[in-house]
Amino acid sequence: MPLKRTFLLWFIVTVQNATQIHSKLEFTNIECTTVDKKFVDFEYCYIKAVNRSYKYISLKANMHELPLVEPSASLQILRRFRRYTPVTLNATIDICKFMSSKKSSRNPMLIIFADIAKTYTNVYHKCPFDHDLVIDKMPTSYLNQQFLNILFLPPGEYAFYSSWIIKNVEKAQIKIYATLSWD
Ligand X SMILES: *[C@@H]1O[C@H](CO)[C@@H](O)[C@H](O)[C@H]1NC(C)=O
Handedness of CA 145, 146, 152, 158 (dihedral sign): negative
My answer on whether omega of the bond before 86 falls inside 30° of 0, hence cis, is no
Q: State yes or no: residue 50 binds ligand X (CB under 6 A).
A: yes
Query: Which residue of 38, 53, 103, 154 would you call a contact of ligand X, by CB under 6 A?
Result: 53
Q: What is the contact mask toward ligand X in residues 62 to 101, using x (rule: CB under 6 A)?
A: ------------x-x-------------x-x---------
Q: What is the contact mask toward ligand X in residues 1 to 40, using x (rule: CB under 6 A)?
A: ----------------------------------------
Count of CB atoms within 10 A of residue 33's CB?
A: 12
Shortest distance, position 108 Cβ to ligand X, whole Å:
17
Shortest distance, position 6 Cβ to ligand X, whole Å:
36
Q: Which stretch binds ligand X (CB under 6 A): 11-19, 21-29, 34-42, 46-54?
A: 46-54
In the three-class reduction of DSSP (H, G, I as helix; E, B as strand; rest coil), residue 95 is classed as helix
d(CA 72, CA 74): 7
State the helix-helix crossing angle for 140-150 and 3-22, rounded to 10 degrees: 140
Q: Which is nearer to ligand X, 147 or 160 (CB)?
A: 160
Beta bridge partners of 165: 72, 170
CB 64 within 8 A of CB 36: no
Number of residues that bind ligand X (CB under 6 A): 12
Q: List residues binding ligand X (CB under 6 A).
A: 50-54, 74, 76, 90, 92, 161, 163, 170
